[in-house]
Amino acid sequence: MSEERFPISVTVNGEPHRLDVPARLSLADLLREGLRLTGTHLGCEHGACGACTVLVDGASARACLMLAVQADGRSITTVEGLERAGRLHPLQQALADHHGLQCGFCTPGVLMTLVELLDASPSPSEAEIRMALAGHHCRCTGYQGMVEAALSLSGGAGTDR
Partner 1 sequence: MTAAEAPAWLGRRVPRIEDAALLRGRGQFVGDIVRPGMLHARFVRSPVAHGRLHSLDAVAARRAPGVRGVFTAEELRPHLTSLDLAVAMPAGAIRHVVNPRVLAADEVCYAGEAVALVVADTPHEAEDAAALVQLDIEALPPVLDPGAALEPGAPRARLGCADNLLARFTVAYGEVAPAFEAAPHVFRDRFRLHKGGGHSVETRGVLAEHDRVDDMLTVWSSAQMPHRNKGVICAALGRAEDRVRVVAPDVGGGFGPKFVCYPEDVAVPLAALLLGRPVRWIEDRRENFAATTAERDQLWDVEVAADAQGRLFGLRGRLLHDHGADTPYGIALPQNSATNLLGPYVLPAYRLEISVALTNKVAATPTRGAGRPQGTFVMERMLDRIADELGLGRDEVRRRNLIPPSAMPYRTPLTTRDGAAMIYDSGDYPACMADALRLAGYEDFRARQRDAREAGRHIGIGLSNYVEGTSRGPFETAAISIGPSGQVVLSTGASAQGQGTATVLAQVCAGVLDMDPARITVRTGDTAAIAQGLGAFASRQGPVAGAAVLQAARLVREKALLAASHLLEAAPEDLELVNGAVRIRGIPADRLSLGQVAQVLQGMPGFPLPPGLSPGLSSSVAWQPEALSYANGTHVAEVMVDPETGGITLLRYLVVHDSGRLLNPSLAEGQILGGVVHGIGHALLEETLFDAQGVPATLGYPAYRLPSAPILPRIEIHHRETPTPLNPLGAKGVGEGGTIPAAAAIVAAVEDALRPARIRITQLPVTPRRLRALLAAA
Give min distance, CB of 63 to partner 1, in A: 12
Phi, psi angles (nearest 5°) of residue 11: -105, 125
Rounded to an integer, what distance in angstroms lies between the CA atom of residue 113 and that of residue 110? 5
Ramachandran region of residue 146, left (φ > 0), alpha (ψ -120 to 50) or beta?
alpha
Q: Does 43 bind partner 1 (CB under 8 A)?
A: yes
Q: Does 141 bind partner 1 (CB under 8 A)?
A: yes
Nearer to partner 1, 42 or 121 (CB): 42
Choice from 6, 17, 65, 80 touching partner 1 (CB under 8 A): 80
Rounded to an integer, what distance in angstroms lies between the CA atom of residue 86 and that of residue 64? 28
Choice from 133, 152, 153, 159 touching partner 1 (CB under 8 A): 133
The stretch among 4-12, 55-63, 73-81, 116-124 that binds partner 1 (CB under 8 A) is 73-81
Q: Does 60 bind partner 1 (CB under 8 A)?
A: no
Q: CB neighbours (10 Å) of residue 58? A: 11
Q: Does 21 bind partner 1 (CB under 8 A)?
A: no
Choice from 117, 145, 153, 154 touching partner 1 (CB under 8 A): 145
Contacts of 142 (CB under 8 A, 6+ apart): none
> Which stretches of the chain bind partner 1, using CB under 8 A?
1-2, 22, 24, 32, 36-46, 48-49, 51, 78-80, 82-83, 88, 92, 95-97, 99, 101-108, 111, 127, 129-131, 133-134, 136-147
